């Protein structure tokens, strides 16, 4: 009788835990039809083949501007982008630290725009960078570094504590993707084929000072040391997007840092013509991010630099690897075709960008 009572208690506890786990899954945002950027970080862990020559880390300037499939097609480089919206430098560092638990790439590419942020900016961006990571020491440290004053640590460990009141906002996507999400990126690259030409870029505001915060240098130093310790080449880049403004004073500071630490630094803003980027056709939001055409041009250009500087193996002759990337190419080109069809039918990317439809209606 006593044994039965214990069993009943155990079953009750198990059901309680399962119910809470299910509710958490149900209530967490899925980022499948709106704000796809929220689903980027978690895609890496589903990747069966975690052997990459190059890992990109950083904000939208990496996941919108480089195409790993193009790098594969042109140079046989295996790459993955671990990017998230407005990824802060400490998030990039801890993401890299965590990635190195899974694999050891030959090259890590870091986009330096986030050096301008010395403080956490917004909870929504923190969530997009952190919620997709499985529990690990790196995640815990990243949470601690990222939290805004009014956020609570525990809500990152048990997201149900943060999302519990989403029950009245649940949509079809919350039900449809409760257990399994669809793949939305191409090794971390978020594809957009639409075009919104550059018209004018606002004048850059004068700043009271052009220093980067000490905390940013601290994490950049940590990144350099982590790469050195693991025999990884670190490359610093600034993507060739025109807004937000990248000041010459900032550029000088990064150049100086790269010189002092013997790192390669490419500010692609200086190579726009050489890359062949045309802001009347190669951007989907008037110069903030590149579209597929722009990302492919940049990837071809950067791939050559990577090949020349780091002697990366061309895996296109490796049957096993080629098979994996052939599957990735099928997904890439079918999404490309789907997006062009949508553009032709609706004039914009309906299924990839519901918010735009809403904003145009308003």
Partner 1 sequence: MANTDIKKSKNIMVLVILLAVLAAGIIIFIISSQPGSNSGNITRTEPSQQASNEPEMPEYYFEYNGVEIAIGAKAAPITEALGEPIHYFEAQSCAFEGMDRIYTYAGFDLQTYTKNDEEYVFSISFLDDTVTTREGIAISDSLDDVIEAYGQDYENSFNQYSYTDNNYKLSFIIEDNEVVSIEYALIVE
- Contact residues: partner 1, CB under 8 A: 8, 11-16, 19-20, 23, 29, 31, 34-35, 37-38, 59-60, 85-86, 122-125, 127-128, 150-152, 155, 160-166, 169, 199-203, 205-209, 243-244, 285-286, 288, 355, 359, 362
State whether residue 207 is helix, strand or coil: coil
- Closest Cα to residue 45, out of 16, 6, 80? 80
* Residue number with CB closer to partner 1 (60 or 224): 60
CB 210 within 8 A of CB 82: no
Q: How far is the CB of 237 from partner 1 (least distance, A)?
A: 17
Residues pairing with 265 in the sheet: 236
Tokens of 171: 């949509």
SS (H, E, C) 163-202: HHHHHHHCCHHHHHCCCCCCCCCECCECCCCCCCCCCCCC
Minimum CB separation from partner 1 for residue 335, in Å?
19
Distance, in Å, from the CA atom of 88 to the CA atom of 247, rounded to the nearest integer, reads 18
89-102 helix and 137-146 helix, angle to the nearest 10 degrees: 180
**For the stretch 290-324, what's the b/e string if a residue is b when 16 or more beta carbons lie within 10 angstroms of its beta carbon?**
bbbbbbbbbbbbbbeebbeebebbebeeeeebeeb
Q: In the bound complex, what is the minimum distance in angstroms from residue 204's beta carbon to partner 1?
A: 10
Contact indicator for 210, 250 with CB cutoff of 8 Å: yes
Least distance in angstroms from the C-beta of 105 to partner 1: 24
Chain-centroid distance of CA 66 in Å reads 11
Pick between residue 198 and residue 300 the one whose CB is nearest to partner 1. 198
Instruction: List C-alpha distances in Å: 267 to 54, 111, 140, 272.
Output: 18, 9, 32, 10
Minimum distance of partner 1 from residue 275's CB (angstroms): 22
Question: What is the nearest approach in angstroms of partner 1 to the Cβ of residue 308?
Answer: 31
What number of other Cβ atoms are within 10 A of residue 267's Cβ?
Answer: 18
Least distance in angstroms from the C-beta of 332 to partner 1? 22
């Amino acid at each position: 009788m006593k044994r039965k009572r214990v069993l009943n208690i155990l079953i009750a506890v198990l059901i309680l835990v399962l119910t809470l786990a299910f509710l958490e899954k149900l209530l967490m945002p899925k980022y499948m039809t709106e704000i796809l950027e929220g689903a980027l970080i978690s895609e890496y862990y589903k990747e069966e083949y975690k052997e990459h020559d190059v890992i990109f880390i950083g904000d939208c300037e990496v996941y919108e501007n480089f195409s790993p499939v193009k790098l594969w097609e042109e140079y046989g480089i295996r790459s993955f982008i671990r990017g998230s919206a407005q990824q802060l430098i400490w998030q990039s560092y801890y993401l890299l630290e965590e990635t190195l638990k899974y694999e050891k790439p030959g090259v890590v590419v870091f986009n330096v725009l986030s050096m301008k942020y010395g403080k956490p900016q917004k909870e929504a961006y923190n969530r997009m960078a952190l919620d997709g990571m499985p529990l690990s020491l790196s995640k815990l440290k990243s949470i601690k570094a990222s939290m805004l004053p009014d956020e609570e640590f525990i809500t990152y460990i048990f997201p149900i504590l943060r999302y519990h009141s989403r029950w009245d906002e649940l949509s079809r996507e919350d039900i449809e993707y409760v257990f399994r999400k669809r793949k939305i990126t191409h090794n971390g690259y978020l594809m957009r084929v639409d075009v919104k030409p550059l018209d004018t870029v606002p004048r850059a505001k004068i700043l009271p000072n052009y220093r980067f915060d000490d905390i940013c240098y601290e994490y950049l130093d940590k990144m350099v040391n982590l790469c050195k310790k693991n025999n990884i080449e670190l490359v610093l880049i600034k993507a060739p997007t025109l807004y937000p403004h990248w000041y010459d004073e900032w550029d000088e500071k990064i150049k100086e840092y790269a010189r002092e630490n013997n790192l390669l630094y490419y500010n692609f803003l200086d190579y726009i013509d050489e890359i062949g980027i045309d802001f009347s056709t190669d951007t989907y939001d008037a110069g903030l991010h590149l579209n597929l055409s722009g990302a492919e041009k940049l990837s071809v250009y950067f791939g050559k630099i990577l090949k020349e500087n780091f002697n990366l193996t061309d895996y296109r002759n490796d049957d096993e690897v080629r098979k994996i990337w052939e599957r990735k190419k099928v997904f890439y080109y079918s999404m490309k075709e789907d997006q062009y069809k949508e553009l032709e039918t609706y004039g914009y990317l309906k299924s990839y960008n519901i918010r735009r439809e809403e904003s145009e209606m308003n």
